[in-house]
Structure 1
């Protein structure tokens, strides 16, 4: 089986699918907003995300696949699908805030510069990587533009605090376990935006500053316009 190649045919197909799917679920959610069918669709979407995430996590934890370097769900993208399922099911403000910022900024970075050294479709690693990222972005697009859940500054600060705390926790865990979850202890081998942010540990500070500034820019327009629902 051929190996996955960044910006090869499968990569372009998946990126197109993510964009088309995001527009589709957002448009559907907008048309169905406030209806019984919207509730059923949102809950069904949550169950699909949960079922896929649990299945791939179970596969990753099997003895034949276990590797402490890769198997634990500690990358932000791994946590994002858990947040996505919870946000879809409950529409709790804090969960929706995390999904908005993680799903629309950090997850797309992983799509643009994928850290995936695995066989191409239909290998389990390929399906796990792209399936998780695809559903997280779709869920964020659906809740934001479909269901009408909008970010606020309170949600911004909550997401910032959680993300920085997660990064600090990963630094400690990585030092203990010899891992590199979150790429906070070293840059990934593949090209990424971190390559222009300096060496370790300086790129961590640059990443925080740039990330918080980008999140602020993604928050400001929503706080200036009328909104039907807010992220507390």
Structure 2
């Protein structure tokens, strides 16, 4: 049993290995089930149960991770503080779910889906299945995305185009703060000091520090792509309203 919780890295995680592909398949099934069940989940009691369950999963993931750090004498201010973008999105998701906050949704829709999806596809992970860290990592990141999609499909929350700019401002304020903390602790939070050791999107974005500028551009493009379905829907709705008014005239 201790093998599954050991802080010693038992073996390097391999991207798109069988275990990774199975997790991605499970994630797609959960997303599909959430979408297909969005109607029944709007019933108040069910809606409340799902919100609290998702918040509970996120809290459990974060608590268990920190207990594991302390238990294994692994806690280190250089790399175990909750200062990665996905960790910050996790905390935001908990508040969003508990308080049904539209303001938080309009940020975490972009940071949560954009960041967690990239993390799931190319994980910066050193522990393969069935290690605790593997399970916790994917459970937390999948729950982040599912929480945002839940608020989107069940609660009916929607992002606005201006929220792309607001999220970019939020990220840049965060970037300055994290750079200061990295200097203070010698850490590499949000990979602002150097690239991760495992394969990731950053491998294609140039050397340090230029990949940070590239990341800003990539983030903006990803956020715009995430908003695109709503832009197309609004345009289609506007076109229908225009045609209806023309017919009435």
Question: Which 4+ residue blocks in structure 1 deviate beyond 4 angstroms?
Answer: none
RMSD between aligned residues: 2.1
Cα contact 2:57–2:140 (8 A) shared by 1: no
1:214 matched to 2:217: no
Q: From 136, 144, 151, give the equivalent of 1:143.
A: 151
Larger Rg: 2
The 3 A distance-change label for structure 1 pair 29 and 57 is farther
Cα contact 2:78–2:187 (8 A) shared by 1: yes
Q: Which has the higher contact order (CA 8 A, sep 6+)?
A: 1
- Partner Cα separation in structure 2 for residue 218 and residue 10 of structure 1: 28
Q: CA deviation at 1:22?
A: 1.4
Deviations along 1:92-130, one digit per CA (max 9) or x if unpaired, are 122212321122211111111111112x23322212211
TM-score normalized with structure 1 length: 0.87
Q: From 86, 108, 119, give the equivalent of 2:117.
A: 108
1:48 alignment counterpart: 57
Cα contact 1:42–1:88 (8 A) shared by 2: yes
Q: CA deviation at 1:15?
A: 0.9
The 3 A distance-change label for structure 1 pair 77 and 117 is same
- Ranges in structure 2 where 5+ consecutive residues have no aligned partner: 4-9, 235-249
Q: CA deviation at 1:183?
A: 0.5
Cα contact 1:170–1:182 (8 A) shared by 2: yes
1:155 matched to 2:149: no
The 3 A distance-change label for structure 1 pair 29 and 85 is farther
Cα contact 1:83–1:95 (8 A) shared by 2: yes
1:229 alignment counterpart: none
1:31 matched to 2:40: yes
1:19 matched to 2:41: no
TM-score normalized with structure 2 length: 0.82
Q: From 102, 115, 132, give the equivalent of 1:124.
A: 132
User: How many residues are aligned here?
Assistant: 225
- Ranges in structure 1 where 5+ consecutive residues have no aligned partner: 227-232
